[in-house]
Structure 1
Amino acid sequence: MTGVMARVGLVLDISGSMRTLYKNGTVQEVVERILAVACQFDDNATLDIWIYDNEFSRLPSATESDFEGYVQKHVMTNQRIHKFGYNNEPPVMLDVIRKYTVEESSPLPVFIVFINDGGVVKPIKKVITEAAVQPIFWQFVGIGHADFEVLRKLDEMEGRVVDNANFIYIEDIARVSDEALYGMLLNEFPVWLKEAAKQRIIRP
């Protein structure tokens, strides 16, 4: 990953089953540790953040100077954000695509970390398949306790120009070292970078 520059985004599940993970500080820790990835190769050392249940919101970007208490400030006490409903992934994913390919088009690739605690809707497959021609790599991260059936089969999905998504499961992020976490997060992204460049989805 040396010399790689990309835009980095984080999508956070805030459906009802995530309530405990927000209240016990787990989601704040996720923000902090993913921000560390962003600061390594994001073009402006910021982390773009979305949150979703059956609705979604774009949140202020996080930086090294303002990440402390981010979840409490921008999520838990923000009355404008819909919280703890049911999950519906495609709308927020389409907004991510819109931001990076329409509103803020750039030759840089995009690395999206998508936090979920299971139970994604099946239409997510259609969005991922159609997004394979876009310069976006989706790294799904399962936390909590669920079977993640749909996400575990991402690598088996056919009909894509390139494999543009990966899934890892982390039962307890607090117990995972930085080295192990970042190794898992960035395992397939370099492979996608090479394949996407071959297909002219991104600049080599």
Structure 2
Amino acid sequence: MISLDKLEQEAPALVNLAKTASVSLSKQGLAGQRAAVYLVVDRSYSMRGYYDDGSVQHLTDQALALSVNLDDDGLVPLVMFDTRPYPTVDVSLSSYQGVVAAQHQLHGGANTMGGTLYSHAMANVVEHYASARVSDPALVIFQTDGAPQDAQATADLLARWSKKPLFWAFVGFGPSPVPFLQRLDTLPGRVVDNASYFHAGAQPRQIPDATLYDGLTAEFAAWLPAARAAGVLA
């Protein structure tokens, strides 16, 4: 975990977010829990408004503030995806401001935003986590605004990877809940329930930070003992 003193020195704008995240973790009995936090964000064409209004950057800030309560490296690996995943970049306390806009423009901005394929982005996360050789579980925040074009492949992978120490916290943007994400939340055939779904609505920046954090942590907290009982976690 990152100390409050260090956070105030390196990223003072995240202090209140980190405190809010800490409260949600404590409510779920997760104070002192360690986990690697990943962030996957949708870069399909329908997402352009959420890049323009700062919603994706705000979620990145929220993910980093959650991470400082769970990990001590001050890094959140970020994966952008549309019809393909883009190279993973580490979001840090010294580099988080404007990182979404910078990466979005690096990949061509709105002119290159494509379709929606979840499975390749998920595979990137699993590969990155395996290469890191860490013993802590991973909490993967996976944001999207719609169902993927590879729905069956995504469901198959989620079921197969229920044997791995990664929990997938899906976050939906948009005016209506995403039925496919609701399906993933209750997908049968898994060793353990390794996914949750939180709908952030059409104006994600208006959702109270505490509400988002509660949505991200509640089922993660339930997954930890279930995963240990199933032998997924030591």
1:57/1:81 contact within 8 Å kept:
no
Matching of residues 17-96 of structure 1 within 5 Å? 17-79=46-108, 83-96=112-125
Q: Please tell me whether residue 113 in structure 1 is matched to residue 141 in structure 2.
A: yes
Quick check: 1:176 aligned with 2:207?
Answer: yes
CA distance in 2, matches of 1:5, 1:35: 14
Are residues 19 and 155 of structure 1, via their aligned partners in 2, closer, same or farther at CA, if it must alter by over 3 Å? closer
- Choose the corresponding residue for 1:144, options 161, 174, 194: 174
Q: Which residue of 2 aligns with 1:6?
A: 35
Q: Is 1:125 the equivalent of 2:125?
A: no
Aligned length: 202
Aligned-pair distance for 1:80?
Answer: 9.9
For 2:74 and 2:197, how far apart are their aligned partners in 1? 24
Aligned mate of 1:161, from 175, 179, 191: 191
1:186 matched residue in structure 2: 217
Q: Is the 8 A contact 1:107 1:202 kept in 2?
A: no
Letter in 2 for 1:10: L
Rounded to whole Å, the distance in 2 between the matches of 1:158 and 1:176 is 30
Native 8 Å contact 1:49 1:61 kept in 2: yes
In structure 2, how many angstroms separate the alpha carbons of the residues matched to 1:155 and 1:113? Answer: 13
- Aligned partners of 1:43, 1:180: CA distance in 2, in Å? 24
Letter of the 1:189 partner, please give it.
F
CA displacement at 1:146 relative to structure 2: 4.3
- Give, in angstroms, the shift of residue 107 of structure 1: 1.5
Report runs of 4+ in structure 1 exceeding 3 Å deviation. Answer: 77-83
Provide the rounded CA distance (Å) in 2 between the counterparts of 1:136 and 1:202.
10
Alpha-carbon shift at residue 175 of structure 1 (Å): 1.5
Root mean square deviation of aligned Cα: 1.8
Kept after mapping to 1: 8 A contact 2:37/2:67: yes
Partner Cα distance (2:106, 2:190) in 1: 40
Give identity over the alignment, percent.
Answer: 28
The question of whether the paired residues in 2 share the 8 Å contact of 1:56 and 1:82 is answered with no
Say if 2:177 and 2:199, in contact at 8 Å, map to a contact too.
no
Distance 1:61 1:82 in 2: 24
- For normalisation by structure 2, the TM-score amounts to 0.81
Maintained 8 Å contact 2:48/2:110: no
Q: TM-score, normalised by structure 1?
A: 0.92
Deviation string 1:39-64 (CA, Å, 9 cap, x unpaired) is 11024121110000001113321122
Post-superposition shift, 1:197?
A: 1.1
2:12 matched residue in structure 1: none
Unaligned runs of 5+ in 2: 1-29
Paired residue for 2:232, among 193, 201, 204? 201
